[in-house]
Amino acid sequence: MGLIVNGKWVQQWYDEDSKGNFKRPDSRFRNTISTDSNNVYQPEAGRYHLYISLACPWAHRTLIFRNLKGLEDIISVSVVEPEMLENGWTFGDKGDPLYNLDYAYQLYLKADKTYEGRVTVPILWDKKTQSIVNNESSEIIRLFNTAFNDLTQNTDDYYPEALRSDIDNINDKIYNSINNGVYRCGFATTQSAYETAFDDLFENLDWLENTLATQRYLLDDTLTEADWRLFVTLIRFDSVYHGHFKCNRNKLSEFHHISHYLRELYQVPGIAETVDMEYIKTHYYASHTLVNPSLIVAKGPKPQFDLPHERDSIFIKEKL
Ligand SMILES: N[C@@H](CCC(=O)N[C@@H](CS)C(=O)NCC(=O)O)C(=O)O
């Protein structure tokens, strides 16, 4: 674990404030892909490459959108090693498919030799200019949602115009309390920072359980980006966050409606293959040396996301 300082990789644990609250830094590469004539990054098949970790929930969002939007033949993808230790994300024996680099930080320096800061995934890379287009998942999924539609003819829209402000509002609520909330629990370094994050997380999971009792998705009957952003945290909850990050007031499987909602999303075509629970567990348990110094990977639980769900029957019945 570390960051780039003065063009060099330096080992360092995550940042926190004076009260022991975990601080996630802002992403630095924020370009877009569009047919705008003055935009450097045009939608082209084979031009872009996505570097991800299957463990990282933010990277997971981008892999999901690549599948949902039929971009598998347009944007290539590669997966870093599950463990993230002294050198940060590493490419391992398989190597970096583009430049045969060893570490993701070398890619950041290749894109910008003056880059300073954390080296995070996902990374959307441009093979043509040999630079990073964007390393912020919330923006990459929106690019994937529309930028390549003319190439794929896939016009499925997970951020429809009419729902944008509602999606943005719900994303903010869920990001702070749930997506980043589990990290605020796991990486807190004081009891009070942990307890504040924990209470906030479970208050919002209670709200979610009640919400999903009466509506199928976060934005009523429309499956949107907001659901996929939430999904990546829910799917990791019982296997990782409950134990490793001490989010243990309840298991997610004890929330009836959330569990059925989670199964429904998992069973959408193209999604199950984006989830590799053994890789996910290996990353968290065997990378966070401060949280789990033995690096022993928890053996359970056995995921049950393939079980039937009742979302069709409940919500169709309601509409009759
Ligand atoms: N805001 C970024 C966050 C990405 C992020 O924090 N990724 C984590 C993995 S889950 C990472 O690469 N961390 C490495 C580090 O901070 O050193 C996004 O959504 O893309």
Pocket test for ligand 1, best of 63, 120, 138 (most atoms within 8 A of CB): 120
> Can you give the CATH number for the domain in which 273 is found?
1.20.1050.10
Tens of pLDDT along 131-176? 999 999 999 999 999 999 999 999 999 999 999 999 999 999 999 9
Please name the residue whose Cα sits nearest to atom 19 of ligand 1: 137
Q: What pLDDT score does 25 carry? A: 79
Q: Are residues 54 and 113 in the same domain?
A: yes
27 lines ligand 1 (CB under 6 A): yes
Query: What band does 320 get if pLDDT is binned at 50, 70 and 90?
Result: low
Stretch 6-32: mean pLDDT: 89
Q: Are residues 185 and 293 in the same domain?
A: yes
Instruction: Return phi, psi of residue 76, to 5°.
Output: -75, 160
Domain stop point among 135, 152, 169:
152
Q: What pLDDT score does 16 carry? A: 82
| Radius of gyration of the chain from its Cα atoms, rounded to whole angstroms | 20
- My answer on whether omega of the bond before 122 falls inside 30° of 0, hence cis, is yes
Q: What pLDDT score does 319 carry? A: 54
Nearest atom, ligand 1, residue 84 CA: 14
Lowest-confidence range among 11-20, 70-79, 179-188, 258-267? 11-20
Residue 178 has pLDDT above 60, yes or no: yes
CA 120–ligand 1 middle distance (angstroms): 4
Cα–Cα dist 211/279, whole Å: 31
CA 61–ligand 1 middle distance (angstroms): 12
284 lines ligand 1 (CB under 6 A): no
Residue 1 has pLDDT above 90, yes or no: no
CA 121–ligand 1 middle distance (angstroms): 5
Q: Are residues 121 and 174 in the same domain?
A: no
How many domains does the chain divide into? 2
**Active-site residue set:** 56, 183
56 lines ligand 1 (CB under 6 A): yes
CA 58–ligand 1 middle distance (angstroms): 7
> Can you give the CATH number for the domain in which 18 is found?
3.40.30.10
Q: Residue 204 CB: number of other CB atoms within 10 A? A: 16
Between 297 and 316, where is the model more confident?
A: 297
Q: What pLDDT score does 287 carry? A: 96
Question: What share of the chain in percent tops pLDDT 70?
Answer: 99
CA 8–ligand 1 middle distance (angstroms): 19
Distances (CA, A) of 45 to 126, 215, 227: 11, 38, 28
Domain stop point among 121, 152, 183:
152
Q: Are residues 131 and 169 in the same domain?
A: no
Q: Are residues 14 and 124 in the same domain?
A: yes
Cα–Cα dist 67/76, whole Å: 11
Residue 250 has pLDDT above 80, yes or no: yes
Stretch 64-71: mean pLDDT: 98
Q: Are residues 25 and 67 in the same domain?
A: yes
- Host H or E run for residue 2: strand 2-5
Q: What pLDDT score does 164 carry? A: 98
Q: Are residues 53 and 199 in the same domain?
A: no
Both tokens assigned to 209: 């359980």
50 lines ligand 1 (CB under 6 A): no
Query: What band does 94 get if pLDDT is binned at 50, 70 and 90?
Result: confident
Residue 187: which of 3, 1, 306, 14 has the closest Cα? 14
Cα–Cα dist 155/172, whole Å: 25
Q: What pLDDT score does 276 carry? A: 98
Structural domain harbouring 62: 2-152
Q: Are residues 187 and 136 in the same domain?
A: no
Stretch 239-259: mean pLDDT: 98
Question: How far does CA 54 lie from the centroid of its chain?
Answer: 9
Query: What band does 24 get if pLDDT is binned at 50, 70 and 90?
Result: confident
Q: Which residue has 């964007």 as its token pair?
A: 134
Q: Are residues 141 and 172 in the same domain?
A: no
Q: Are residues 182 and 284 in the same domain?
A: yes
Note whether 185 and 201 are within 8 A (CB): yes
Q: Are residues 297 and 240 in the same domain?
A: yes
186 lines ligand 1 (CB under 6 A): no
Domain stop point among 92, 118, 152:
152
Binding residues for glutathione: 89, 118-121, 136-137
Nearest atom, ligand 1, residue 3 CA: 17
**ipTM score over 0.90, yes or no:** yes
Residue 318 has pLDDT above 60, yes or no: no
**Rounded (5°) CA angle 91-54-2:** 55
62 lines ligand 1 (CB under 6 A): no
Tens of pLDDT along 203-225? 999 999 999 999 999 999 999 99
Q: Are residues 121 and 233 in the same domain?
A: no
